[in-house]
Amino acid sequence: MNTYKSINNACQDYFSPIGRCPKDRGVMRKTILISILFIGISTIVNSQSVSNIEPLQSGNKISINYSIIGAKFYQTFDVSLYVSNDGGQNFQGPVKSVSGDVGKVVSGGKKKILWDVFKDDINIEGDLFFDVRIEVIEEKIKKKFFLAFSGNTSAPFGLSIGQIGKIGWYITARSNQNFNLSSSYECNDEQITNYSAETYYSFDGESKIVRYSLTAGLTYQAGKNVYFYAGGGYGTKDLLWHINEYNYDDDSKTGDDYAKNTNYSYSGIEAEAGIIINTGSFFFSVGASSQSFKRLDGNFSIGLTF
């Protein structure tokens, strides 16, 4: 369906009370009716189209405002302007004496073409119909490697490596400061369940959490500088209770150890997802991870791309 928009008294800047444009103020000698002809076959390319077309006139120049909808972040456009004075039956162009958002144009925002009318050898008598045509140019999406410091609320120390592009990948390892601790025993909330030493023990109230994870997954580019990531792997969280061990004969301390509280320790699948922002060489991400679907952590990464 064709859509028409018009502006009456288009040379109103030069329009005198008697209805004519003064001779010494320009070469326009009558009111021009400017109309827009929106032709779907020439202004729609795949899912991209030109919309919100609006012609305006000031003096000897005409501006055509328009928008490109449905544009992808990796697309640019070759934009040209055509004009018709026979009701849209035939178009002349592309118009040469134009400036603004014409030629190679990037997506986003409102666009404007400014046409210096009398610099082109085009008949402007009668109603003028404008057609803004676009040709889609698919830009190649660049791939980048990244290296980032990574962590979350329970395992704040880690490293992420990977690649971002239209489809990328990553590997992340995280831990906390207690990664080197281990336990010889297991306990519940009351006692050690597998104590077999020839000494006795007591809990002293000190506890530590050992947390680490190893995950991998995919990244997907959703915008010019925006990516999503999702993946999974293995993670563990151990609650260790500290014990002191004593000799039965003289109650002297023989050593200390840790017992893993099995009521609050778990390991298994770790799933995660989040968003990545990459501007220039700066890399930043935020997200969340679930460890064994029992614990939810906030994730973060900061690093560089190259």
Give the CATH number, domain containing residue 240: 2.40.160.20
Same domain for 70 and 123, yes or no, is: yes
Same domain for 132 and 154, yes or no, is: no
Q: Is the pTM of this model over 0.85?
A: no
Q: How far is CA 128 from CA 59, 65, 112, 117, 186, in A?
A: 16, 15, 17, 11, 86
Examine the fold and report which residue of 115, 138, 161 is the final residue of a domain before the chain moves on: 138
Same domain for 263 and 217, yes or no, is: yes
Say what the pLDDT of residue 45 is: 56
Express the helix, strand and coil content of the chain in percent, nearest 5 each: 5, 60, 35
Examine the fold and report which residue of 103, 138, 173 is the final residue of a domain before the chain moves on: 138
- Residue 94 preceded by cis peptide, ω within 30: yes
Amino acid at 227: Y
Residue numbers of the domain that contains 48:
3-138
Number of domains in the chain: 2
Q: Compute mean pLDDT per 10 residues along the chain, 306 residues long, and list them.
A: 34 27 34 42 61 81 89 90 86 92 90 91 80 88 95 96 96 96 96 95 97 97 95 97 96 96 96 97 97 92 97
Candidates 244, 218, 217; CA nearest to 233 is 217
